[in-house]
Amino acid sequence: MKCAITEFQQEQKKRMRSVQDAMDALSGKWKIAIISSICCYSKRRFSDILNDVEGVSNRMLSKELKELELNQLVKRTVLPTQPITVEYELTEHGNTLQRIISELSDWGTVHRNKIIGK
């Protein structure tokens, strides 16, 4: 019996570590909204994301996109145009978040309706 409890506790610690890893990659006020913007359109320019994510500043968007690149969730492509155009798209790894974003959106709709009573 004691062995089963210890195994359960070890599995729970692994699960919590996994949740923390996910939260570290997606933490902050803007990352999920940025990913959501890119999810909807497949490829987005910086200015498009800036318009989609209400309230984010240029500087903060730039910082968050760099962090998403470091976590291999977003790919940045510089196009040879004049002036230079930069596009962002989800990586293959980033695309694994599509289902989560969709479910989060659905939950947010239900939550808003519950809270405001509509």
How do residues 48-91 score in pLDDT, each as one tens digit? 999 999 999 999 999 999 999 999 999 999 999 998 999 999 99
Q: What are phi and psi of 114, to 5 degrees?
A: -65, -45
What is the model's pTM?
Answer: 0.83
Task: Report the first-to-last Cα separation within the chain, whole angstroms.
Answer: 49
